[in-house]
Each structure stands twice: as C-alpha cells, then as structure tokens.
Amino acid sequence: MVIIKDIAPKMFNREGGNGFNRTVYHSFILFIIVSSLTFDSLAGSVRDFYPQNGIMVSVEELDNIRMLAESGVEPYHSNLNEFLKWFTYALEDAQSWAEISGEVVIANGSSGQPTQLSADGARLVYGAALAWHLTGQELYAEMARRMILSLTNSHGFRDFNRKSFHWGAQGILNLARGGTPYIYAADLLNNWSGWSPLDKHSFQLWLRDEMYPKVAWASRVRKNNWGVAGSFSASVIAFYLMDQPDWMLTEFAPDTIRLRPVEAFEVHNTIQLGRQNTSEEWQMDAKTLIWGIMPNGAIPEEIRRGKDPVDGDFLPSRGSGTHYTMTYIEHLTAHAEFLRRRGDNSLFDYMANDGSGSLLKAFLFVVANQKGAHCFTQDRRNALYLAYGYYKHAALLQSILDCGPANIYGQRLALFGRLTHPLKIEY
C-alpha cells in the first residue's frame, strides 16, 4: 500500500527537427474548409477517466463539435471556421522555425524560446491534434506526432548567462507553460494508429527525466504564476505516466524526492490547492507581506508586478499587475478544468474559512469589481469559457458579453477555450 502523506509545506518552503512539414501547410490550404488509497485502486480510478474525458477536451466532444459545425449550427460553425483560418496562418509561420535539438539555451529571460515551447508552439501542436479530429485530415495528427517527438531530442534549458542549469532558470517556466500542451496533443493521439507504443514511451521518458524535475521545483517553491503552471504541469505529467505505475519520478530540488506517478499526481494537486491559501505555512517564496488569493479575490504576488497596491480592493490600472493576475487565473483555471475531468472539483470549489483561496473570487475581483472592473485580454479570455462552463456565474457571462468573444486560440494553458467550451452568444 502506498499512502499519500508527508506533503506538508515544509517540503517546499523556501529553505529532430521542429516537427513542421511544408506538406502539411500546403495540404491544409487545399483543405481550408488520500485519505489513504491503495496504489492500484488509486491509479485505476484515475485512469478510468482517461479515455472518456480528455485533458482539456475529449474526442467525443470534438466529434460533436465537428458534427454541429458541419450542420451549420452556431457558434460551432463560426468557431470552427475561425479556428481553421487561424491554423492556416500558424502553419505558414511555422515554416520558418528553427529545429529543436540538443541542449536548449534560453537568452534574455525570453518566454518565447525555443519557439516550440513558446505560446505559438504550444498552440500549434495542440491545434494540430484538434485539427485532426475536427477535419478528419490524418496529416495533422502526423504533424502533431512529429512535433511531440521533436521535443525528445532536447535537454538542458539553462539560461544563456549561466554555464549550467540553475533552479530558477527561465526554461522551467517555458517547459511548464509550453510543454504541457504537448501532452494535451499526445492525449488526443492516444487511439490513433500512427501514434505507436514506442512513440508514447519515448515521450514519456522525456517527460519523466527532462521536464518533470524542473516543473516540480516550480510547483514546490514558487507562489506566483510560475508555481501555478508548475503544479499543473507536474500533475498532468504524472497523470500521463499512470500506465507506468512502477516508474519513479525524481525531484532534485528543493529536496531529493522520488515518487510514483500516482503519488506525484496527488502531491502536486494538493500543493496547487495549498498555494491559494493566505496562511503562513503556505508563504512559499512570496515576495510580498500577504499572499495567496485574498478574501476579496486579489492576488498580491501578481499585483506587485505593477504599480497598484497589493492590498487594495480593486485594480486601478490595466498594467502589468493586472495582466499577471489574469495569467495566474488562466493557468489555475486550466488545472481546475483538468481535475474536473477526473471527477475532482476542488480547485473550482475551494474557499478557506475566511473566504480566501477562491478561484471564482479571483475572477470576480477582475471582471465584476464595482470599484473598477477589467476585461480579460482576448487570449486570456478563453479561460472564462472554461470557468463559466463550471460556475455558470452570470458575471462571467456578462464579462464576455461586454468585452466581446475571446480569440480562438488562447494564451498559454487554457487554450482554445472558446472552441472546445463554446457559448451561444449573440453580440
């Protein structure tokens, strides 16, 4: 019996090519249109949701979207057309990408390096998997496969000004945000004959040995959006490795820890929930005197990035603090949706006794604050579609009505929310 335990904050307190093929682009132009559970029972219960519910969307949901779109039903028809139009431009842009192979070095703290792990790269690989299901064009599945396997040729992810990798490197965030959608895509290839057991095994090894140790560090240490992305990424990796129950996932910092996939899944989900708390034991690496999601919905660790007061009751400006707040919420919403599809609504529902820690309150602090509300940016706005799908809160819908629809592709982790979680809205 493996019992999930000892995950108290002391464990994480401060102490081959780019996968793109020109044929895909030209063909597309032609197409255009624990409480304690036994290890075995816990692993089995998690896997039970795997084929049906997907990570962000299921194959069955995509089949339904395609059917309704082809029948001219709105908003499915318009959403699909807009997605295909975006995909055309994304494919064209990808023709100029450099290959990813060998050691990856990140220059100037760039969130766009390597391109394969940038927002564009993450959207393209997941978009290719979606396009396969939504068009029936198998060459898009092949494109997604090539992009996924190209990552397995990469390693390192150190900063350019460092001789070796260090904990805190920009590559950690780039992996967490840019690498996780590759798992979304791989999940959608699961029943495709072209995605072989060897392909999946190669990707799983890379996730285990290269990506997991880095994102797990962010999960345990960082209080801000880095940590949110890290916990989500570590959880999704662990989930994707559930069919390798005897594998050990090794973390090297802040402490050396070895966990089976089922343990890592539970641990990093628990850390994500704890991160939302304002209590001292969940301070982690917070740079402010207050932290977590406050009872009024404010997120001080993100607000501090701008000029607004971290203890204010609204966001006076639409500066970097406001945008980082939206990013934090976008990342957390993706994790909440992923767990909802596993039968766990805890991230959507959580609220401490003092009213803190609530994802819904964080949304409302931004979009429905009577002292000053803001529209989510068009890309981050995709998270509202996921959130409204669960909460059915009128203020979230009203924000979409007032601000206009999200773009079709999304920001970082709550990608393609408007496409996969459509709302029938007339403007």
Per-residue model confidence (pLDDT) at position 309? 97
pTM score, whole prediction: 0.90
Per-residue model confidence (pLDDT) at position 109? 86
Geometric angle at alpha carbon 200, from 197 and 203, rounded to 5°:
150
Per-residue model confidence (pLDDT) at position 120? 97
Domains detected in the chain: 1-255 (1.50.10.100), 276-427 (no CATH)
DSSP H or E run through 249: strand 249-251
Of 129, 50, 57, 47, nearest in space to 389 by CA: 57
Pairing verdict, β 154-159 and 249-251:
unpaired
Q: Assign 157 to helix, strand or coil.
A: strand
pLDDT along the chain (427 residues), means of 10: 32 39 42 38 42 87 97 97 97 94 92 95 98 97 97 96 95 98 97 97 98 98 98 98 97 98 98 97 97 98 97 96 98 98 97 97 98 98 98 98 97 98 81
Per-residue model confidence (pLDDT) at position 52? 65
Can you state the angle between helices 225-240 and 320-340, rounded to 10 degrees? 20
